[in-house]
Amino acid sequence: MAHTETNSGGLSRRDFLKVTGAVGAGMVLAPVILGEEAKNASKTVNVGFIGVGTQGRVLLTNALKIPNLRFVGVADIWPYNQGYAVRTLKKYNHPANGYIEYAEMLDKEKDIDAVIVATPDWKHAECTVAALKAGKHVYCEKEMSNDIALAKEMVVTSQQTKKLLQIGHQRRSNPRYQLAIDYMQKKNCCGMLTFLSAGWSRSKRLDVGWPKGQELDEAALKKYGYDTMARFRNWRWYKKFSGGPIADLGSHQIDIFNWALKASPAAVMAAGGCDFYEGIEWYDNISALYEWDNVDQGGKKHTVRGYYQLLSTSSHGGYSETFIGTDGSLIISENAGTGGMRREQEAAEADWEKELPKPSGPNAAPAAAPKVEEKKAETKDGAKKDADDDIKVGHSVPAPGRYFGPITVAGFNKSEHLPHIENFIAAIREGAALTCPGEVGYDTAVTVLKVNDAIVAAKRLEFKPEEFKA
């Protein structure tokens, strides 16, 4: 279910024209499409928010850019964040009502069509299931849940209520990612994928703190399941509230592995520890190695391996995903300036290579890799030596091949979150296919959370195919 063609990332012609509307054929067809969209966009969708902290604000400010949304309610147990969101919406002429309890908002705001959930992960299922049962469509942030059984309940409830459930792996709606997947799956730019790797390095200040005088009192903290204000604010680092950094950061990128391979993994081994910070429960560094068996890439079926590295002690290397294959490699990141493509020297030159951007920026590989001379040079004493001997120590030697710049989509300059919310709203208004429905989010949650189990078990753990079925 999670790896059907609809969700496998190929840009539909229509989507492609939307993002490349300013060039080529798009110039002719775009007005027709825009006209159709303008009609559908006039359908008002009433929206409520549950959880408006850091990410809730990001989603709110992005959603404000979508025409004909009416923001009617905001629920957050922390009056400080709730008040900020309500005031922001008022500024943009949305007189939304503020609530402490999400249940009260769902009960009173009967005309809400869609709810955006951005609470800490452990509350995703409770809020999502309640909203779906109240007849609302739900956009819920990742990680879907830190508990697989609760994630399953979210999917089953969306199926039973026939309400939409979009999970916040926003790369799935990012035109640059869709194009990269298209290059790999349809244009075969890497040939047969043989190895994947990705990582996120973040030098994270552990205590996010809170403004003085804005503390929740002890009774409120207790009522909502947080023992202290510090844990309430730093929920990511505690097992009750979160799946840890592999869920927080890794889930975005490991999701892309499954997407590119159109498969769920067969096994994972991992190591990690809470080695550098004190007073937290989740691992501050993780190394994981996945195996996907029998990956069908249009010929013989192969095992593909993929490495994932997470560091919360350094920002070295940033965050990106790398796909390596027999004909080339592709690097992409949510940071649009990072990455690029390389085609092996021996790979036949494809027409689409002409459309690719030239290498640029600090991450670019050189346009032309130096040719390594085959013939032996003569030394003074007449002996032959390898050309490699001439390579100076300290110089990096680029692999031979044709290098290109980061994947770009003409005319696309939106924030990374907006297209994913737009996809959710388009699904409500005009029946567009969700790019990350609950079933896909579930597949990713199962894939990712097993890393924590593998660290505890200190051995290779296998996935059973039925584990991925919600």
Give the residues lining the site for ligand NAD (CB under 6 A). Answer: 50-56, 75-78, 81, 102, 118-121, 123, 141-143, 168, 170, 224, 248
Q: Are 106 and 130 in contact (CB under 8 A)?
A: yes
Q: Are 386 and 374 in contact (CB under 8 A)?
A: no
Phi-psi region of 39 (alpha: psi -120 to 50; beta: other; left: phi over 0): alpha
Q: Based on CB atoms, which residue is closest to ligand NAD, 29 or 58?
A: 58
- Helix, coil or strand: residue 207: coil
Strands of the sheet with 45-50, listed across from one edge: 97-99, 69-75, 45-50, 114-117, 137-140, 165-167
Structure token digits, residue 388: 């490699």
Q: Based on CB atoms, which residue is closest to ligand NAD, 118 or 427?
A: 118
Residue 115: CB minimum distance to ligand NAD, A? 11
Minimal CB distance to ligand NAD: which residue?
53
Q: Based on CB atoms, which residue is closest to ligand NAD, 53 or 401?
A: 53
Residue 217: CB minimum distance to ligand NAD, A? 14
Longest Cα separation, the chain: 92
Question: Residue 337: which of 233, 430, 413 has the closest Cα?
Answer: 413
For residue 182, how many C-alpha atoms fall within 13 Å in the half-sphere facing its CB? Answer: 19
Alpha-carbon distance of 138 to 375, in angstroms, equals: 65
Q: Based on CB atoms, which residue is closest to ligand NAD, 53 or 199?
A: 53
Residue 349: CB minimum distance to ligand NAD, A? 37
Q: Based on CB atoms, which residue is closest to ligand NAD, 109 or 248?
A: 248
Beta-carbon count within 10 A of 97 CB: 16
- Helix, coil or strand: residue 316: coil
Structure token digits, residue 125: 């299922």
Phi and psi at 453, nearest 5°, equal -65, -40
Residue 123: CB minimum distance to ligand NAD, A? 4
Residue 393: CB minimum distance to ligand NAD, A? 41
Segment (H or E) for 31:
helix 26-41
Residue 117: CB minimum distance to ligand NAD, A? 8
Q: Based on CB atoms, which residue is closest to ligand NAD, 150 or 263?
A: 150
Residue 26: CB minimum distance to ligand NAD, A? 29
Q: Based on CB atoms, which residue is closest to ligand NAD, 248 or 327?
A: 248
Q: Based on CB atoms, which residue is closest to ligand NAD, 163 or 417?
A: 417
Strands 401-404 and 461-462: unpaired
Alpha-carbon distance of 446 to 357, in angstroms, equals: 36
Residue 90: CB minimum distance to ligand NAD, A? 18
